[in-house]
Every structure is written in C-alpha cells, then in structure tokens.
Chains A and B, each alone.
Chain A
Amino acid sequence: MHLPPTDASIVARRAEIVAGLKAIVPDGVVADESGLATFDADALSAYRQTPLVCVLPSDRHQVSEILRFAHAEGIPIVPRGAGTSLSGGALPRQDGILIGMGRMKRILEIDYENGCVTVEPGVTNLNITKAVEAQGFYYAPDPSSQVACTIGGNVAENSGGLHCLKYGLTTNNLLGVTLVLPGGEIVTLGGKCGSQGGLDLLGLVTGSEGLLGVVVEVVVKILRKAPVTRTLLASFDSVPAAGECVARVIADGVVPAAMEFMDRRAAEAIESYNQPGYPAGAEGILIIDADGVEADVTHAVSRVTAIVAECGGRTVEATDEKQRARIWSGRKAAFAAMGKLGPDMICMDGTIPRHALPAVLAEMEELSRRHGLGFCNVFHAGDGNLHPLIIFDMMKPGDFEKAEEFGADILRLCVRVGGVLSGEHGIGVEKRDLMTDQFGEQDLEQQHRVKCAIDGRGLFNPGKVFPTLSACVEQGHIHVHGAQLPHPHLPRY
C-alpha cells in the first residue's frame, strides 16, 4: 500500500484541527481512539489506516464550512458514505479528515408527478425504493450492499448491480446533485428539467470516487415496477457453452433484466450453503430474469429457452414467486458461500466484451493452473462484468503474492481482449497501479488535469484512482479471511 506519505506537520496540528472542526460541528467530531477505530477501513479491509479525525456533519452548510476550513489549512479530505466500497475508496488517511455523511439521511421530496426523489446523501439505496414501493415504483440500481450503502456513495462510485444490464448504472438514473467543491462553494448540477445546457458536470462527478467534491443532495429517477417478471435457470455441460449462450442472447437482441453466471465450483458451494435447488453436475449455470409487459416477457423467455437449447443447455423456469426468490437467494449468498471453499479469497472485477466470454473463461483455467491456485466464477454475465474469486491461504508463505499476481493477470487479460479494469467496484486504491495497463500516459494526464482543475491542491481523496509515479506495481482486492467478510450481514454479488 502506497498512499502519499503522511504529512507529519498536519499530524502535529491535530489538537488544533479537532478544535476547528468542533467549532463547526459541535456534536459530530470523533477524535478518540476507539471511536476512530470504527472508521479505519471500508469493505476493502485488507488495508487499514486510522483517520486523523472524523467529522459527521448534519447539513450542507456544515459540509461547506468543513471544506473551507480544510482548504485553508491544507488538510486532506476523505469522504465516506456507509464504508461499503470494495476498492478502498473510503480508506482514511492518518493526516486527513474523514467526512462521514451518514447523518444526512433525510428524504427531502418524493415527486410522483415527475418520477423522481430528492434525498440527502446518507439515505441508503434500498430506503429510496422502500419510500416509493407502495406506489408501485422503485429505484433501479441495486448494488449488492443496497441495504447499507448510501446514495452519496453510489454517486461517487457510479454503482451498478444485478439489473444494470437493462436499467443502467447510477449515472443513467441520476437527475441532479448538489455538490460542495473543495473550496467550500456549493453548486447544483442537473435537476428535474429535460436538459440543463452547459458542460455535463453531473456526468463527470458521477463515479469520480470522491476526488472532486462532496455530494450533499441527490435527485434520482424512479421507475414503475414491471408488470411481469419471469426467472429461468439454465444449466450447461461446459463453461464455454454457457459463455456462448450469453453472447448469443445479447446478439439476438433480447435484453434480459438480469443474466448471472456461476461455475460448478460456485454452484456446489452455494447449494451446500443455502440449497437454492441448482441442478447437480452442471459445469455452468445461468440465472436469467426477463421483465416487462407480458407479451415482451413471453417473447424473451421463448427466445432465451431456444438459445439455451442451441448451446446444448437445459432450462427450468421458476413456477412461482417463492421459487424465484429461492433461485435468487442462492446467487445473492454466493460470496458468503464461497468463503467455505478456502481460508482466504480475493474478488476481482473487470469487464470484457461479451463475445470474449468463452475464450476468457477458458484462459482463466489456464492461468489458474499456471499460478497453482483455485478459483471460481460468479458474475454479471449479461454485461460482461466478471467477478472471479481467487482462493488461497494467507498462512501459506507466498500464497497471497501468488493470488495477487493471478488477479492482476486476470485484469490484464480483460484489458487485452478489449475490456476494462473495473465494471462496478471502482479503482480506489485497489486497482490504482493497474491504470497504466489500460490507459496511456496522455489518457491519464487528461483525466488528471480535470482533477487538478477542480481540486488544484490535491486535497480530495489523495492516493486514490491515479497511480503515483513512485509507486511500485501492486494490486489489492476484496480480501476475505476465514469466511469473514467486512460487513458480514451484506450479501455480495
């Protein structure tokens, strides 16, 4: 882990900084050792650092004052929602203020006439849906951590989920944000209107991983629940056959609401974990949701069933809502179930073109042999977003390093076939040093110039996303030890 070195002169001013923050938020400064320990990592818990101080503002004016103070004093800022980032986006700094947005959790307006909801950033993803579901609406992006993760964090990470194949990522479901800039100025980007004119700064800020400012208000689109949803379970005798099926479904023009893949090792672990009823002996399994009006769903189901058969697979359909839930419960418990496969594992997150699925799945087997480590595959197949889980033993000397090399090789493979380093977890500190594998020097410099244009002093989440020239090549991952995930109550898929 190479964050920029801790600035001792800031640490030396700690008492003064704590006092400065208490003057702004009298009831929301955490400075004691045990209090700060609860904020020392996000869900990429292999990396930990105790923040200099944590501040929990309760309104936008306090946020603005905090940023103005930090800017004047030259103190780094790390924004944090619920701390569920899988890429270390909210990893604190010993010389930085951690600004936790969890207290700002009011739903400000539900506007059914315009199909949108205005919330503070600390509202959880799922609570937006809960607020509108009685009227038949929902908020579409559904990251696996949706019971805990906040909408502010979703904006920062441009979060995805199971259903973004059809409904898009956060960026496609966002109408506006109010942002506090590094100097403390408050700007509103976007809104309920059909268009705003000017540069699309809303699009830039979404997915900027806390490098450009702090979001204090969010307007999201809500959608009407589809009248019909049907779920299919398809099983195959080989992994490439399942990959072929995914590519053909996409090419056929069918857009399933979700299309998830798991290999035999994963399916068996899940089956023994919570018995969702997956077919025994299949090398690859797909779970496919089709939603929409009845005739659309009927058409999609018949096309998918035919394509599965063409690829040598078999299809079973959930007969009722209970069985649908059971099939999905297995998929959603995948991470927890995988924890039983080995003492430790790391989860990768890359995206590839869908036609490359069969070849990439085959090459991962080869990489596994070469590195001498087992792995299994559970991922969002429909949009080519891979989540290979590498199994290793931290207690075995050299095993972790091998796992890291294996993981980096998988991501490089993704880039080589035309894909990218991250489909939904973000770069954070985890993949920062692989950025040069995907982008050339001028590509990265252009991004960095945008960063500098907004945060000229480089105080916002320093050490994340962009590789530093001095850093040696390294990679991080979701680290799971002894089947204990950070946020163990959250499903991970």
Chain B
Amino acid sequence: MSAASSEPQIVEFVRAARADKAPFEIVSGGTRRGVGRPLDLPPLDVSGLSGIVKYEPEELILSAAPATPLAEIDAVLAAKGQRLGFDPADWSRLLGSNGVATLAGAVSCDASGSGKLRHGGARDSLLGFRAVNGLGEAFRAGGKVVKNVTGFDLPKLVCGAHGTLAVLTELTFRVYPKPAHHMTLCLADVTPEAGFAALRKIALSALEPAGLAYLPAAMMAGVGQGAALIKLEGARAPLEEKIALAHGLLGGDITRIAEDPFAAIGCGEIFADAGGDIWRVFVAPSDAPRVARELDARHWLGDWAGGVIWLAAKPDDASRVRAAAAKAGGQAMLLRAAPESRARHGLFAAQPPALAALSRSVKAAFDPLGLFNPGRL
C-alpha cells in the first residue's frame, strides 16, 4: 500500500496520480471504508499524518493532523476540561472494524453522535484546514480564530465530503468547555408520538440538552412501549436546576438513569448486533413519529429529538426506506450494508438534477480528474 506521512509526500503522490490519471482511495484509520460505494482502487495510507499539532486550551483552539485518533484527542482535551463540539461518533463497532477512528474520518463522514444537538456538527466548529487538492497543490482555507468571514467558507465543504474534494493534512477546531456532570432522564412507557413530543419540548427549551432520543421497547428493556431519554449536563447546581426544569416541562414520572445510554446510541453501537442493513433517515423532527411508523422496523430509534431515525432493515427494503424518507422531504443514508447493496443504492439518494450538477462542478473545482474516492459519495 502507498503511504504518505507528510504534506510534501502527499503533494508528490497526487501529482504522480494526476500524471497517470490514477484515482485512489484515501485511508487513515480505515474504520469507515465500509461506508458508501465500495472502491476497488489502490489506497493511499495517510495514517502517518497523526498527532496534535497545537493545542491552546486557554484559547479553546486545537489543530491536529488528520489521522490523529479520536481517542487521543478526547484524552488530551479532557485533561483540560474540554471537548470537541461535534461529538464525533466512532462507528467502528457498528461497522465491525478493528481500526482506529480518526479525526479526519469523522469529519469527512460528518459523523456526529447524539451531542450534535449541543454545538452542531463538525461544520460548526471546524475553523480551518490544510489540504492537497487534485492538482497536487497544497492549500489552506479558513483560519484559526473563532470569528472569521474572510473569503469563502471552504471548511464547511470538507465536512461530509467523504474525502472526495482533497486530501486533508491539518484540521483546526474550536473546542468547548466540557461540563463536569451529566444526567440522563427517562420518560418511560410512552408512544413514539408522545415521546418525540416530549423531546421536542426539551429541544426548544433553554436547557441546552446533550442528547434527546426515543427508544421503542425492542431497544430498551423495562420501559413499557418505549422511552424518551433526555441527557442534560452542567456543573452540579446548574444540572440540578435543569433537571428540575425538565420535570416542570414534562410532568409525569421521570426517572434518572445511572448509565449513560447515549454512549451506545450516538455511534450506532446499539445496532452492532442487529442483523440487516443499518440506515440513518434524516427528517424534520416533527415528522419522526409518522416516518417511524411507516418504516415499521423492529429495531429502530430516533435521535436528535427526531431529526434522525436509525433503523435495521432487510436488504430488499432499500427502495421502501428511500421512498419513506423522500415522502417526508428527508434523506436516507445507507450506513451499513453488503458491498453489492452499497454499490447499488449509494450512500444517499440521487440529488435533483440541478443540485447534482452544482455538486459536480464544486467537486471538479477541487479535483477535476476525479482522483479522490471517486463515486463514494
């Protein structure tokens, strides 16, 4: 396998690939290679570009090489009472990978866990990056300060681009204080309609929740027909105040849960042992109960107060899942499936023609020959 462990090496590699018109797959930890259309291309291993480049806790800014393990970043930030804002989700358990989940992998796949509710996705805290484009040119974009409107906001584009625009070589994030305590509340034995309504009520309150999920009986024992789970956080006194306010908003029998169920929800680990294909269906939160009933899956849950529905489905259900999402004006992402299925259905449904043409033009502005992960997105 070809490998590069510095930006100049990547430049050299891309220039050679360009000369040969030879597309390749970009790989760091390799945990997400099973996402999107399978690529039968020689990989470029960039796992050597690892490590924190600069961390300024007093400035709440962190720059790291793309293949830095998420666990390493977590540990370094936690030692200073801080965390990444986008709650990066490690899908390795779900996807059955033994690799190490990296920063650039999470950014490229727009992989956020339940905590996306709090500070947004990777796009909302990626301040700047360095990368090599398909012309073999190293460039940088964005900046290293929290407020910046200088030039086009290219950092937004690389989040969720699945490595199709450029080979990232450095990422700079705004980081956030990590609240000292958290607590998950459970409103048990509620229908999806009642459960999601409760979650939306909290989402639209001033409680700044860090997790809002509905789990049906099949996903959680001892909660009757289903549970609305509400994760709150803060220093001790503010957390207690938020819990009291949540009680006031929802009434009913709310209990406290000792273990944090969101650890297994946000990264899909809760579905690791479920058979079939794993989907994430993105809808407007108020549509979640209706779409969930229409999807009619045994193993499913709704996170982000209903903004995403996870489900396990039979491989021949693909068209039905896509249709249900489309009907609700949403989008269905095929996260885990056999290679043939991923090749056939793609990661997302095809975009409308004008939007697809626009996306292609923007892609070509970075990578005109289509060298990087072609077709994966």
Contacts and interface: CB of A to CB of B under 8 A. Distances in A.
A187 B302 CA distance: 29
Given A186-B354, A227-B206, A450-B154, A160 B242 contact: no
B363 interface: yes
B145 A207 contact: no
B365 A450 contact: yes
Nearest to B132: A442
Contacts of A191: 284, 329
Contacts of B165: 199
For chain A, give the interface size range.
35 or more
Contact of B156 (A171, A195, A225): A171
Contact of B151 (A114, A383, A385, A465): A465
A188 B147 contact: no
Contact of B331 (A188, A195, A223, A298): A195
A435 B58 contact: no
Contacts of A193: 282-284, 307, 329-331
A169 B149 contact: yes
Interface in A388-404: none
A198 B355 contact: yes
Contacts of A423: 145, 147-149
B206 A225 contact: yes
A421 interface: yes
Interface stretch (B135-143, B186-194, B268-276): B135-143
B72 interface: no
B82 A204 contact: no
A385 B147 CA distance: 7
A169 B123 CA distance: 12
Interface stretch (A270-278, A288-296, A306-314, A319-327): A288-296
B97 to A, nearest CB: 22
Nearest to B280: A195
B8 interface: no
B241 A293 contact: yes
A5 interface: no
A224 B358 CA distance: 35
A352 to B, nearest CB: 7
A270 B374 CA distance: 59
Given A224-B204, A452-B365, A447 B156 contact: no
B141 A443 contact: yes
B328 to A, nearest CB: 8
A124 B242 CA distance: 34
B100 interface: no
B45 interface: no
For chain B, give the interface size range.
35 or more
Interface stretch (B16-24, B88-96, B230-238): B230-238
Interface string B34-60: 000000000000000000000011111
B150 interface: yes
Given A114-B285, A251-B58, A446-B133, A420 B145 contact: yes
Interface string B91-134: 00000000000000000001000001000110110000000010
Contacts of A194: 116, 282-283, 285, 304, 307-308
A420 to B, nearest CB: 4
A206 interface: yes
B337 to A, nearest CB: 15
Nearest to B58: A251
A251 B57 contact: yes
B133 to A, nearest CB: 6
Given A187-B355, A197-B348, A255 B156 contact: no
A198 B361 contact: no
Contacts of B339: none
Given A224-B205, A446-B139, A453-B364, A353 B150 contact: no
A295 B331 CA distance: 39
A150 interface: no
B333 interface: yes
Contact of A295 (B153, B204, B241): B241
Given A443-B140, A447-B154, A199 B145 contact: no
Contacts of A427: 149-151
Given A194-B282, A204-B362, A454-B358, A158 B149 contact: yes
Contacts of A419: 143, 145
Contacts of B56: 353, 355
B185 to A, nearest CB: 15
A366 interface: no
22 contacts: A113-B200, A115-B204, A160-B149, A181-B358, A186-B354, A187-B352, A188-B355, A193-B307, A197-B347, A198-B355, A199-B157, A200-B123, A206-B156, A250-B59, A253-B82, A293-B207, A420-B148, A421-B150, A427-B151, A439-B151, A443-B139, A443-B141
